Amino acid sequence: MLFNSYVFIFIFLPIVLFGFYAIGARSHHRAAIAWLVAASLFFYGWWNPAYLSIILISMLFNYAVGAVLSGRDKSKLLLILSVAANLGVLAYYKYFNFFIENINNLGGTDFNFEKIVLPLAISFFTFQQVAYLIDAYRGETREYNFLSYCLFVTFFPQLIAGPIVHHREMLPQFAKETLYKINYRHLVIGISIFTLGFFKKSVLADGTSEYVNLTFSLAETSTPITFFAAWAGSLCYAFQLYFDFSGYSDMAIGLARMFGIVLPMNFNSPYKSQNITLFWRRWHMTLSRFLRDYLYIPLGGNRKGKTRQLINLMLTMVLGGFWHGAGWNFALWGFLHGAFLIMHNSWMKLSQKFGVKMPRLLAWWLTFSAVLFAWVPFRATSLEGAFNLWRGMLGINGWFLPQWMGNYAGYFKQWAMEHHIAFVGIFHQVGSVKLMDVLWFVMLFIIAFYMPNTQQFMQRYRPVFESSQHYKILTLKLCWRPSLAWSVMIAFLFVYATLSLTRISEFLYFQF
Amino acid sequence: MNYSFFLYGRRFIVATVFLLLAAIVFCYYIDPFSVYGRIYIKDGVRVNSPGFTGQLKMGKAIAIKQHKPEVIILGSSRSAFGFSAQSAEKYLATTHIYNLSYPGINIYENLRYVQHAVALSPIKKVFIGLDFYQFHGGRPPEITFSEERLAVDVNNQPSGSASKDLISTLLSGDAVFYSIKVATGLCNWDDVYLPNGFKSQDHPGGWSGKFSDSEESYVDRTYTIPTFTYAVEGKKSSTFDYFRKIIQLAHEKNIDLRFFISPSHARQWEVIGQLDLWGQWEYWKREMLNITVQEAKRNSQSAYPIYDFSGYSLYSTEAVPRLASQGMRWYSDSSHYRQALGDIVLDKMVNHVDDEAFGRILNHQNIDEHLKSLKIQRVKYIAEHKQDIADIKSLIDARKRY
């Protein structure tokens, strides 16, 4: 079931909300939690009921191991074995096909296994539970009951694509007595956050997908993508991915809030970042936090010397790349970000030593360009496709210029032809681009770079778990409040997004 | 404080319900895709709404349910534009006829629409316009084609649901947008369809500029991207399997099925030739013939005819003027024939005329000689139409460069 579907918005969600508060109002708190777990499992099983067993076994196993680890007998071996078991299951479902494919390519063998279909959300619920096991071993978990633990893993707003939640954030919230009584404050704040995310996903991201699909699928054929088409394609993808994923996160945060649960922040206007380290503190923040706490720091972080720190950074990013998908293109994406982080780290040392500071605009431009360049292998389905687009962005694949320029080219026309410059219209390869398309692009640009984000609009009402200080920029006058104007505007955005639902759309993060 | 949240929630719900209902009522009243029976009058003629033109796959699939025709015409834009409703009704002597063709159709979609029509209507006669590119298995699937809206699945089992179309025609941004365009008159009323699926008017005569535009799209996007193949992308089947299924269904239901290879202009065949696809093009014809014969034998019936209108006739070699003002009689561009030529095609098929010059009915006795003759005529055409050949060569050379 997709968040952006009629069946979810108009049937599933109202029934689950009604059921939860109806049961909760009669003080059957455990039953209310059980209702939410059942609804979440139904939500998960909607795609493929067969995979329900995986998540159920995974929860039973990890809860039992967690109980042992948090007791008196803390066995490091048990921790290692249980984490290995979790990662083993993930590796089997996510990386086995990839592994066999590479063995066949390298050794010229022809091992042929039936293709394993990736169970939905396995990367997310594995990570959440691995963190739980490690914290249980460290003695940082409390005694949680099994039902609450199940809800922590399966809670449908964050189950499929995050935010990746931490037991410390979630489980104490389930224990609150006030949670089970209908609270209009939570409900309308949740609806408003959900609607802002719904609009971002359904209108802004999906409205941009057509051009992106066109460019990237053309890049997979052997057609060389020319300069402007390549830049436009990768820029549009950068916007599409941001609005898609941050929209999805907003929807998740809003949905949880309807049940009185506050989720952690996942995006904080990442494209406004002026360096790559900052970018990673603002993009998919809960994943960055997980990788930092459970991979980078255990690897030694910055405690074992400069060289080791840089190696740890690179390792974390490449593994983070692989987490997104089993493919060399994801590893390349992770490697590039590792390299960018190392460069930034080195630059910081140099700039401190020589007292040099980069102008803010240049710093932003460099950061965004690096991110943009790295998105290409992230989206391309093969390395060849990614290289094709990169060549295009660097001008190696030739240039298409507007037809009218050809009239003034005169003597240079022949020279231009010899140097792969043609006057056939800049987007000749992907069809005509109309004024509306340009205006649409400008609008995305303004929203991503100049507009406040959802959390800033909602800052008066604690939209996310974190302390809100670092995202307070707006004057309070512009912020959301339960006023007539905001209710009509949110209704308008909701209807607009609903009307946009019939387009073909799919969450980009579903396979990660 | 809590009351203000309660009030906000109430206002949100009222505003949302009001806006959604307003959108539904507006779209139903305007019916921008003519799926709820609304017919408009243009110059005294009953026509579908202009929005129907942009949603032919949906509009025509729904219309079949309402019209219940006995005769259908299928095929690509060539069949959609090239026949007039009046002539079709005259030649076929029935008004129970529907033109199900739509631009860009492939052979799989032809099969699916035949299955859909047969499931919903007492079909007796089917004419299918065949085009070489329809059998290119590597062409990416068209995202606007929907299995869901068709009455049966590919194995002819009842399936499908109209719910998605219901929502998209009443409660979608596209529906609201088209409704506003139709209501304000901001749409193109020159490009509309009649209630029986035929184009309301003939396309104007072509000239070299239109020919080049059309050929460019075939060079850039249709024949060779990716490399031409009969194998279906991602499946073990070939596009000929779909062609065979159409024939099997027709035999099973005792339908009078007639295929015809569209009579495009000679320059279209030159595009195929210059893209080094001539051999594939010949194989395509041979293989289709083989399949019709095999299936006929299997069912102990006579083979369904394939009329080959491609090649070098008096019509297809019509001179292509350099100026738009000079307009052509038989063609609107390299791919599309005009309705005057469509009349001749219908005449030959209805009267079962085997014409060596235009409309040869293929069989195992004449196929070799027929294909050889086309090759010879091509050489002659190239020699006599240097400018046309140069136009096509420059298009293909430009593509090779990038």
> Which tens digit of pLDDT belongs to each residue from A97-150?
777 777 777 777 777 766 777 787 888 888 888 888 888 888 877 767 888 889
Residue in chain A closest to B400 (alpha carbons) equals A223
| Neighbour tally for B67: CB within 10 Å | 20
| Neighbour tally for A476: CB within 10 Å | 9
pLDDT in tens, A289-347: 888 888 888 888 778 788 888 888 899 999 889 888 778 888 899 999 999 999 998 88
Q: What is the DSSP string of A92-144?
A: HHHHHHHHHHHHHHHH------PPPPPPTTHHHHHHHHHHHHHHHHHT-----
Number of A to B CB contacts under 8 A, please give it.
Answer: 84
Q: Do A504 and B143 make contact, defined as CB atoms within 8 angstroms?
A: yes
pLDDT in tens, B43-52: 889 999 888 8
* Residue A399 forms contact with B (CB below 8 Å): no
Q: Is B136 exposed, middle or buried (0-12, 13-18, 19+ CB in 10 A)?
A: buried
Percent of chain A at pLDDT > 90 equals 25
Residue positions counted in chain B: 402
Least confident range of A21-30, B104-113, B339-348: A21-30
* Residue B171 forms contact with A (CB below 8 Å): yes
For residues B237-245, give the mean pLDDT: 94
pLDDT at position A179? 81
Sign of the torsion formed by the C-alpha atoms of B269, B292, B102 and B98: positive
Q: Is A324 a catalytic residue?
A: yes
- Residues of B with CB below 8 A from A226's CB? 402
The answer to whether B362 and B308 have CB atoms below 8 angstroms apart is: yes
pLDDT for residue A509 is more than 50: no
pLDDT at position A504? 39
Q: Which residue in B102, B384, B130 sits closest to B270, CA to CA?
A: B384
- Residues of A with CB below 8 A from B19's CB? 491-492, 495
pLDDT at position A471? 52
| Neighbour tally for A293: CB within 10 Å | 15
Least confident range of A245-249, A502-506, B201-205, B284-288: A502-506
For residues A374-398, give the mean pLDDT: 87
Q: Do B5 and A482 make contact, defined as CB atoms within 8 angstroms?
A: yes
pLDDT at position B225? 67
Q: B115 vs chain A: nearest CA distance in angstroms?
A: 25
Cα angle: B126, vertex B128, B132; to 5 degrees: 165
pLDDT for residue B1 is more than 70: no
Sign of the torsion formed by the C-alpha atoms of A472, A478, A484 and A490: negative
Q: What is the DSSP string of A149-164?
A: HHHHHH-HHHHTT---
For residues B16-31, give the mean pLDDT: 94
Residue in chain A closest to B225 (alpha carbons) equals A221
pLDDT at position B28? 94
Q: Please report, to the nearest 10 degrees, the dihedral formed by the alpha carbons of residues B241, B245, B247, B249 taken in order.
A: 170
pLDDT for residue A352 is more than 90: no
pLDDT in tens, B333-357: 999 999 999 999 999 999 988 988 8
**What's the number of CA atoms in the CB half-sphere (13 Å) around residue B29?**
8
The answer to whether B351 and B240 have CB atoms below 8 angstroms apart is: no
Confidence band of B227 (pLDDT split at 50, 70, 90): confident
pLDDT at position A474? 58
Query: Which pair of structure tokens corresponds to residue B220?
Result: 């850039």
pLDDT at position A510? 41
pLDDT at position A476? 63
| Averaged pLDDT of chain A | 84
pLDDT at position A434? 73
In the set A166, A167, A284, A324, the catalytic residue is: A324
Close Cβ partners of B124 (under 8 Å, ≥ 6 residues apart): B70, B71, B255, B256
Confidence band of A67 (pLDDT split at 50, 70, 90): confident
H or E element: which one contains A249? helix A227-258
pLDDT at position B399? 67
Query: Which pair of structure tokens corresponds to residue A406?
Result: 């050809």
Amino acid, res. A477: K
Residue positions counted in chain A: 512
For B141, the 3-state DSSP assignment is coil
Q: B9 vs chain A: nearest CA distance in angstroms?
A: 6
pLDDT at position A512? 40
pTM, two decimal places:
0.78
User: What letter does residue A205 receive in the DSSP assignment?
Assistant: I
CA distance linking residue A290 with residue A292, whole number of Å: 5
H or E element: which one contains A173? helix A167-174
Amino acid, res. A260: G
Q: Do B23 and A496 make contact, defined as CB atoms within 8 angstroms?
A: no
Q: A208 vs chain B: nearest CA distance in angstroms?
A: 15
User: What letter does residue A200 receive in the DSSP assignment?
Assistant: I
Partner-chain residue, chosen from B5, B16, B174, that has the shortest CB–CB distance to A502:
B174
- Residues of B with CB below 8 A from A495's CB? 16, 19-20, 23
pLDDT at position B338? 95
- Residues of A with CB below 8 A from B167's CB? 6, 501-502
Cα angle: A153, vertex A154, A160; to 5 degrees: 105
CA distance linking residue A164 with residue A265, whole number of Å: 10
Q: Is B56 exposed, middle or buried (0-12, 13-18, 19+ CB in 10 A)?
A: buried
Place of tokens 């619920």: A125
For residues A173-183, give the mean pLDDT: 83
Mutate: best of B10, B12, B186, partner A, most A CBs <10 A: B12
pLDDT at position A166? 83
Q: Is A485 exposed, middle or buried (0-12, 13-18, 19+ CB in 10 A)?
A: exposed
Cα angle: A324, vertex A327, A332; to 5 degrees: 80
pLDDT for residue A52 is more than 60: yes
B209 to A68, B69, B205, B315, B375: CA distances (angstroms)? 79, 38, 12, 19, 27
Q: A371 vs chain B: nearest CA distance in angstroms?
A: 28
> Which is more confidently placed, A311 or A463?
A311
Place of tokens 């919903």: B120
Q: Do B171 and A502 make contact, defined as CB atoms within 8 angstroms?
A: yes
pLDDT at position B4? 87
CA distance linking residue A261 with residue A246, whole number of Å: 18
> Which is more confidently placed, A461 or B86?
B86
H or E element: which one contains B380? helix B367-384
Mutate: best of B3, B5, B8, partner A, most A CBs <10 A: B8
pLDDT at position A26? 82
> Which is more confidently placed, B21 or B167?
B21
Q: What is the DSSP string of B96-134?
A: -EEE---TT--HHHHHHHHHHHHHHS---EEEEEE-GGG
B225 to B130, B229, B275: CA distances (angstroms)? 20, 10, 11
CB contact burial A47-59 (16+ within 10 A = b; e otherwise) = beeebbebbeebb
CA distance linking residue B49 with residue B47, whole number of Å: 7
pLDDT for residue A8 is more than 60: yes
Percent of chain A at pLDDT > 70 equals 93
- Residues of B with CB below 8 A from A498's CB? 20, 171
User: What letter does residue A474 receive in the DSSP assignment?
Assistant: S
* Residue B166 forms contact with A (CB below 8 Å): no
CA distance linking residue B244 with residue A300, whole number of Å: 65
Residue in chain A closest to B1 (alpha carbons) equals A185
pLDDT for residue A508 is more than 50: no
> Which is more confidently placed, B124 or A49?
B124
- Residues of B with CB below 8 A from A491's CB? 11-12, 15-16, 19
Strand (E) positions, A219-334?
none
CA distance linking residue B96 with residue B99, whole number of Å: 10
* Chain Cα centroid distance, residue B94: 22
CA distance linking residue A281 with residue A360, whole number of Å: 18
Phi, psi torsion values for A309, nearest 5 degrees = -65, -45
Least confident range of A175-179, A480-484, B284-288: A175-179
Close Cβ partners of A177 (under 8 Å, ≥ 6 residues apart): A29
Sign of the torsion formed by the C-alpha atoms of B236, B239, B242 and B243: negative
Partner-chain residue, chosen from B1, B15, B171, that has the shortest CB–CB distance to A491:
B15
Query: Which pair of structure tokens corresponds to residue A304?
Result: 């074992």
> Which is more confidently placed, A471 or A304?
A304
- Residues of A with CB below 8 A from B8's CB? 188, 482-483, 486-487
* Residue A350 forms contact with B (CB below 8 Å): no
Q: Do A495 and B23 make contact, defined as CB atoms within 8 angstroms?
A: yes
How high is the ipTM of this complex?
Answer: 0.82
Longest CA span, chain B: 90
The answer to whether B41 and B95 have CB atoms below 8 angstroms apart is: no
For residues A413-419, give the mean pLDDT: 71
